[in-house]
Amino acid sequence: MTENNRRPTNAHARPDGLPERIQHYINGQFVDSAGGATFDVIDPVTNEPYIKAAAGQKEDIDDAVATAQLAFQEGPWPKCCRGSAPVC
């Protein structure tokens, strides 16, 4: 790569349309981690953090699994014929 082909280091910016922070999506809602823990998401170009994301803990996983099980047991999924899942 020649000097003329290099992209300036400041050319990379935070993408438009990102939320203020990344949350979990559990039971049809965006939620923070149960304990409020977060971690930095690192931009691979600049190696700098550009957004915070919810850091899932055991309680978050348990909530997501319980919600998925309930959706399978009481939602449309068990009534579907094999290979014909409802359109979401």
10 is written with which tokens?
């400041």
CB 54 within 8 A of CB 23: yes
Instruction: List the alpha helices (DSSP H) in 1-88.
Output: 58-74
Question: What secondary structure does DSSP assign to 13-66, as a single string?
Answer: -PPTT--SSB-EEETTEEE--TT--EEEEEPTTT--EEEEEE---HHHHHHHHH
Quick: pLDDT tens for 70-80: 988 888 777 77
Quick: pLDDT tens for 28-86: 999 999 999 999 999 999 999 999 999 999 999 999 999 999 988 888 777 776 666 55
Number of Cα atoms under 13 Å in the Cβ half of residue 55: 8
